[in-house]
Amino acid sequence: MLKHPPLIRLDRKSSSKDERPPGFDAGRRSSVDHLLKMSTFGEMLENVRTLAASKGLWDDDMQRDIPKKWERHGDMIVFPQNSFTHNNWRYIGRELWKVVAESLNIAKLGRKRIISDDDDRTPHVDLLYGENGWVEHVDDRGIRFIYDASKRVYNNKKNPEMQRISEWDCHGETVVDMYAGLGYYSMRFLVCCGAKQVVSIDWSDDMCEALRRTAVANNVQDRILVIEGDSRRVSITEILFAGY
């Protein structure tokens, strides 16, 4: 017998409750984070400025082109799309990215790019340094997500839905995840909810490959069926999950 309705859509509301521990000093924590970030930025700035100056290419306008914040995905740092766009960076070439990676103590570098002819304007990432874009992200439940960050990055905005799903009891049930993506919900059904099987469907072959790798990393590959294609052509089973 199902513990919940067969067709479920999640709302997007998140709790505003402050769950910080007693004695937590937000101002102090922010200051520490700021100092650490600025220290890392300062080291990168000094190193790239020295490199550019050694080639007679340094221009003060280039400093405003160096990002002060970025995203980290596993062993890759992803810069905003308006970073390192000054023409002089191009003349330095690959040596620039080697110096930046060493300054940040990271193995891979990427830069966001918006695909203008994509209906959803999906952000993609250009790989700047490193052999490939495959990275690993471990979430709060210890679930390992393996994905190519040059194709799609992990979306933290899905965390509230993931937390809610984790409380469901799906033992003995088969779930269809119609818009699987990187497997945010599919993995929760398998790892946290005890589903007998999850059918994960996505249009993208890149997402399907990431799903397969993620399933192996979490030792659930024998309970997941990954289908590349149109979810509207798959028969509805015990639970249909149409979150996105």
Domains and CATH numbers, the chain: 39-131 (3.30.300.110), 157-242 (3.40.50.150)
**Residue 218, pLDDT score:** 97
Q: Encode pLDDT of 76-101 as tens digits.
A: 999 999 999 999 999 999 999 999 99
Tell me if 58 sits within 8 A of 49, measured CB to CB: yes
Residue 145: which pLDDT band, with cuts at 50, 70 and 90? very high
- The separation between CA 9 and the C-alpha centre of its own chain, rounded to angstroms, equals 23
**Residue 56, pLDDT score:** 95
Model confidence at 210: pLDDT above 90: yes
The residue ranking higher by pLDDT, 140 or 120, is 140
pTM (two decimals): 0.71
Count, residues in the chain = 244
Single-letter residue type at 171: H
The residue with tokens 């700047």 is 128
Residue 158: which pLDDT band, with cuts at 50, 70 and 90? confident
**Residue 153, pLDDT score:** 81
Both tokens assigned to 53: 């100056």
What is the sign, positive or negative, of the torsion defined by CA atoms of 145, 150, 152, 155?
positive
The overall average pLDDT reported for the chain is 81
The residue ranking higher by pLDDT, 184 or 157, is 184
**Residue 113, pLDDT score:** 83
Residue 31: which pLDDT band, with cuts at 50, 70 and 90? very low
Average pLDDT over residues 9-13: 40
